[in-house]
Amino acid sequence: MRRRLLGRLSGAVASLWVLAGAAEAPAGAGGAAEPCLRLPYVYTKWKHFTTENGLPNDHVFAVRSHENDLWVGTENGLALIDKRRGEVVKVWREKDGLPFQAVTGIDVDPQTGAVWLGLFGGGLARFSGGRFDHWHQLNSGLVNDVVYDVVVANDSVWCATTAGASRFDTKTGEWAIFTEKNAPMEEIWNYAVDYDPQANKIFLAVWGSGVLEYDLATGRWQEYIDPDGEMEIDLYRDDGINHVIVTGVTAIDGVMWVSSYFGGTRYDGRSWRGFPDIEGGLPSLFNNNVRGRTAYEAWYCSDKGAGAIVDLDPETWVQYTRDGKTGYAVVKQRLRPEDKTLATVEVIETGLNVPHTFVVNADIEGDDVFIGTSHGLGWGIGEGYYPRLKERPRMGRARAERAAPGGVSAPAPK
């Protein structure tokens, strides 16, 4: 099984060489001390939640951490995890008042503590004071009941729906709808929404219309679409969003992180940076979402594990994946700027990290990360977390390889 996973990662490795000083033995396994390299923090301590320890359903669609509360939206119910106790303390299904079984978006209003829920076919719900309030197409200005994502921005709640975006003013009760009529949406299939409080802007990830940025102060739109305009190719690297079908967006520290089923993209306001799977950093082209942590770190939710890009200088990724009963963190780095692919510089057997390789959603709070997958939730506990890179010895099996252009570098099996 392990061999199969690693073999899959290996792809078409045409040539490889071991870097000078990069022994195959685990660090500290005798011999001369290994030199310290600039390496990222790697999550090695994880908690897991499935139906076996309280989740209402294993298919996790949404996760949101807010102080001590960890809210988990699944395909059949909502769960609350008490982070101090480290356990599921409450579950709601439809019979408990949850307006619809599938919860695809969650956000918490920092002012009121109200929990807002995007319901996959059930509209929008607010959980407050132990009660669910429910808005849908027939009783409100919600443009569609298929809500993929929800975010609280000041006094408003924004919903990304399959037929446009809706904004609900929680003070006045007024609704606004954004579709092709009043926004630059060539298509109206909204997939995700994010709010950048620093910039006071809303970011919509729209399937077929790229990313739309809405300035709350001016009411102006800015669109970001694939510059080549073609579905079947990405013409140039780093020229913009790599595909018009966008699945997720996070704006943080002046940087926009974008996910799609065709890779990932970063934009800092001046330059674009594309992340295709063929370079070996991003685990897969197929990315369900992205959660940015800083201008340098973002977690991509792919169908082949979580891919955390943790620095750009040099470009460094940590891929979290599992195989059978255990998990691996694979550190990838672009060793020289001219290298076309990233090399594997560290492979750490972490024990189980992400519960399943099909990652759907992620959230980050403080030093911890929370990974929703199609079979359970993983909580990465960031003891001693540090951002970007720092010099440290390798923690586990260490090996560096380089793939031929177009191939994917990866660790070789034992």
Site residues for other proteins per CB under 8 A: 1, 4, 8, 58, 61, 101-102, 104, 120-121, 143-146, 161-164, 187-189, 191, 207-208, 228, 230-237, 242-243, 245, 261-263, 274, 276, 278, 285-286, 303-304, 322-324, 356-358, 374-375, 406
Q: Residue 263 or 281: which CB sits closer to other proteins?
A: 263
Structure tokens, 190:
């909204």
Q: Please, are residues 256 and 223 in contact by the beta-carbon 8 Å criterion?
A: no
Provide the minimum distance between the beta carbon of 403 and other proteins in the complex, in angstroms, as a whole number: 15
Q: Residue 4 or 390: which CB sits closer to other proteins?
A: 4
Q: What are phi and psi of 184, to 5 degrees?
A: -75, 60
User: What CA–CA distance (Å, rounded) separates 192 from 145?
Assistant: 14
Q: Residue 38 or 340: which CB sits closer to other proteins?
A: 340
DSSP 174-189: -EEEESTTTS--SS-E
Provide the minimum distance between the beta carbon of 374 and other proteins in the complex, in angstroms, as a whole number: 5
Q: Residue 393 or 406: which CB sits closer to other proteins?
A: 406
Provide the minimum distance between the beta carbon of 169 and other proteins in the complex, in angstroms, as a whole number: 22
Q: Residue 106 or 389: which CB sits closer to other proteins?
A: 106
Evaluate the CA torsion angle 400, 404, 332, 47 in order and state its sign.
negative
Provide the minimum distance between the beta carbon of 384 and other proteins in the complex, in angstroms, as a whole number: 29
Provide the minimum distance between the beta carbon of 210 and other proteins in the complex, in angstroms, as a whole number: 14
Cα-only R_g, the chain: 21
Q: Residue 14 or 235: which CB sits closer to other proteins?
A: 235
Return all residues near 60 (Cβ < 8 A) that are at least 6 apart.
Answer: 72, 73, 74, 360, 361, 372, 373, 374, 376, 377
Q: What are phi and psi of 277, to 5 degrees?
A: -70, -25
Provide the minimum distance between the beta carbon of 50 and other proteins in the complex, in angstroms, as a whole number: 10
Q: Residue 354 or 395: which CB sits closer to other proteins?
A: 354
Burial class (CB in 10 A: 0-12, 13-18, 19+), 35: exposed
Q: Residue 50 or 128: which CB sits closer to other proteins?
A: 50
Provide the minimum distance between the beta carbon of 238 and other proteins in the complex, in angstroms, as a whole number: 9
Structure tokens, 405:
């252009």
Provide the minimum distance between the beta carbon of 11 and other proteins in the complex, in angstroms, as a whole number: 10
Q: Please, are residues 196 and 203 in contact by the beta-carbon 8 Å criterion?
A: yes
Q: Residue 177 or 345: which CB sits closer to other proteins?
A: 177
Q: What are the start-end ranges of the E strands in 357-413?
A: 359-365, 368-373, 376-380, 389-392
Provide the minimum distance between the beta carbon of 381 and other proteins in the complex, in angstroms, as a whole number: 22
Return all residues near 96 (Cβ < 8 A) that are at least 6 apart.
Answer: none
Residue 49 Cα distances to 16, 353, 362, angstroms: 39, 11, 14
User: What CA–CA distance (Å, rounded) separates 353 from 386?
Assistant: 18
